């Protein structure tokens, strides 16, 4: 069973979290290449990582996205206390903000399975099972990555969790954004995921109450462990994001 180091970064600047992901990915890739080139000196595989966090208001645009899916100009971004980044994940535009569980798995899929589509389905399934614990039936829409409520009804379908990943030498980064208590008004300033005819929702909107974020995180972690057949271990290391 693989061990995954878990760390909750709390509320953290988007660029700082992105840089930290890149650092962890580079470490794993470097260790893989060293072991491949010098198998006789092969040491213990570096552990995988799972980061949870929330971000101050930010819009991110993936490699396949269109910049005109952001409906704000520079001045309006400032008025909404938001920033914008073009980033190196797949997918189109999305929003991150307080009250949203953003998950960044940095996993070496060589030690799980070499199938990025299966990886995305596993992430979706963890969210689907978490929602089921709150009495919400969620599912997928064919050809549209994400977790949806009322997916079978095009007029009512609404996304509760978005996904966008990058994979380098079978090591993943970026991940998912699960709307729990997030301010949904911020989604009005984009065409979410580049899909103009689908709504966005949150767990708090569906249930009509504010959720305990730590409770939701705990349930989500448990389902990720079960689906990926791994063991989450708290990462005791400290990170200095002040620089």
Total number of residues shown for the chain: 243
Q: Which domain holds residue 18?
A: 2-234
Element holding 178 (H helix, E strand) = strand 171-179
- Residue 240, in any domain of the structure: no
Number of folded domains that form the chain? 1
**Residue 7 domain-assigned?**
yes
In a domain, 239, yes or no: no
For 19, the 3-state DSSP assignment is helix
Alpha carbons 82 and 59: distance in angstroms, whole number: 7
Q: Is 101 part of a structural domain of the chain? A: yes
C-alpha dihedral (237, 1, 223, 124), degrees to nearest 10: 100
Residue 70 lies in a domain: yes
In a domain, 243, yes or no: no
Lowest mean pLDDT among 11-20, 26-35, 49-58, 101-110: 26-35
For residue 42, is it within any domain?
yes
Q: Which is the catalytic residue, given 53, 161, 167, 193?
A: 193
144-149 vs 158-168, strand pairing mode: antiparallel
Instruction: Write the CATH number for 46.
Output: 3.30.930.10
Catalytic-residue membership of 193: yes
pLDDT tens for 100-152 read 999 999 999 999 999 999 999 999 999 999 999 999 999 999 888 899 999 99
pTM listed for this prediction:
0.93
* pLDDT at res. 39: 63
150-205: pLDDT as tens digits? 999 988 999 999 999 999 999 999 999 999 999 999 999 988 776 777 799 999 99
163 domain-assigned: yes
**Helix orientation angle between 116-132 and 213-228, rounded to the nearest 10 degrees:** 140
């Amino acid at each position: 069973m693989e061990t995954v180091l878990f760390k909750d970064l709390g509320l953290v600047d988007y660029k700082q979290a992105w840089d930290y992901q890149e650092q962890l990915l580079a470490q794993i890739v470097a260790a893989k290449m060293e072991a491949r080139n010098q198998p006789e000196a092969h040491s213990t595989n570096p552990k995988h990582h799972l980061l949870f966090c929330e971000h101050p208001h930010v819009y991110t645009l993936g490699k396949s996205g269109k910049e005109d899916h952001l409906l704000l100009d520079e001045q309006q971004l400032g008025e909404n206390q938001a920033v914008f980044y073009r980033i190196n994940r797949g997918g189109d535009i999305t929003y991150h903000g307080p009250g949203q569980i953003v998950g960044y798995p940095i996993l070496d899929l060589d030690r799980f399975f070499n199938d990025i589509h299966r990886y995305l389905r596993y992430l979706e399934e963890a969210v689907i099972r978490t929602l089921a614990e709150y009495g919400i039936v969620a599912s997928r829409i064919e050809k549209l990555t994400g977790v949806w409520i009322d997916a079978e009804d095009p007029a009512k379908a609404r996304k509760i969790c978005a996904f966008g990943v990058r994979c380098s030498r079978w090591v993943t980064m970026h991940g998912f954004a699960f709307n729990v208590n997030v301010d949904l008004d911020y989604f009005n300033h984009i065409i979410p995921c580049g899909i103009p005819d689908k709504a966005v929702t949150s767990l708090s909107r569906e249930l009509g109450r504010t959720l305990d974020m730590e409770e939701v995180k705990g349930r989500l972690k448990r389902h990720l462990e079960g689906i990926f057949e791994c063991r989450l271990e708290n990462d005791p290391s400290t990170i200095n994001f002040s620089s």
